[in-house]
């Protein structure tokens, strides 16, 4: 699979975690693709920290409204029943615990559920956006990311980049598998059949606990 296919594969699996009538915030980058794979028969209310609930799909080029963009600056639409509000209200929704699920990308995640996703020392970054608030305010946190970067593991024993939040991650979904963060460590719940268990572990610095009912990721 090329990079785009890998990201779609991850996003499609993340979408299976969506539940009916849930309020969901998608981080920039790969997580935004999750909206393309909503399971049939359910309604999901997408929230964006720049002041929307009820985000719809990207518009056709001729229908782009420069005033309607998500937190990453990408053009979006608003579905019937959606609404606009100021940033104070938006972050009140997040900090008040009204977001059921957030899906975020990450630079690193470790076996304690710590996450680093906004800063590499010495590199210019725009800021952490709403990540810190989402990690502390959302009821469930899923990290959706590629398993490695240039061959180096991104799932570590300990993050060595500045943390965005500590102990906040519930589930990690990569192209190699689905990994649950537990008090005992990282539990591999599903594996992509394109990889062997040895390949997944070699691409992961943290030691993986293989679930007794290990499923097939699809």
Burial of 198 by CB count in 10 Å (0-12 exposed, 13-18 middle, 19+ buried)? exposed
Distances 121 to 117, 167, 205 between C-alpha atoms, Å: 12, 22, 21
Phi, psi dihedrals of residue 175, rounded to the nearest 5°: -70, -15
Two tokens, residue 134: 């989402």
Q: Is 59 helix (H, G, I), strand (E, B) or coil?
A: coil
Task: Dump strand ranges (E) for 107-165.
Answer: 108-110, 115-116, 141-144, 148-149, 152-153, 155-156
Q: Of the residues 17, 49, 112, 190, which is catalytic?
A: 49
CA 153 – CA 137 distance, rounded (Å): 28
Residue identified by tokens 């304690």 is 112
Q: Is 49 a catalytic residue?
A: yes
Active site residues: 49
């Amino acid at each position: 699979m090329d990079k785009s296919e890998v990201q779609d594969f991850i996003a499609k699996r993340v979408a299976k975690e969506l539940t009916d009538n849930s309020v969901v915030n998608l981080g920039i980058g790969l997580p935004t693709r999750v909206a393309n794979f909503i399971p049939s028969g359910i309604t999901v209310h997408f929230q964006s920290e720049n002041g929307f609930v009820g985000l719809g799909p990207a518009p056709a080029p001729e229908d782009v409204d420069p005033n309607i963009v998500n937190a990453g600056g990408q053009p979006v639409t608003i579905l019937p029943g959606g609404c606009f509000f100021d940033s104070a209200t938006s972050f009140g929704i997040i900090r008040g615990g009204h977001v059921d699920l957030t899906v975020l990308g990450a630079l690193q995640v470790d076996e304690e559920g710590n996450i680093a996703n906004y800063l590499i020392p010495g590199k210019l970054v725009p800021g952490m956006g709403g990540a810190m608030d989402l990690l502390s305010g959302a009821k469930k946190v899923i990290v959706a990311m590629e398993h490695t970067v240039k061959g180096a593991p991104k799932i570590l024993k300990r993050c060595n980049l500045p943390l965005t939040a500590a102990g906040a991650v519930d589930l990690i979904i990569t192209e190699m598998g689905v990994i649950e963060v537990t008090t005992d460590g990282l539990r591999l719940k599903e594996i992509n059949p394109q990889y062997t268990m040895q390949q997944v572990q070699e691409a992961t610095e943290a030691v993986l606990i293989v679930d007794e009912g290990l499923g097939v990721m699809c």
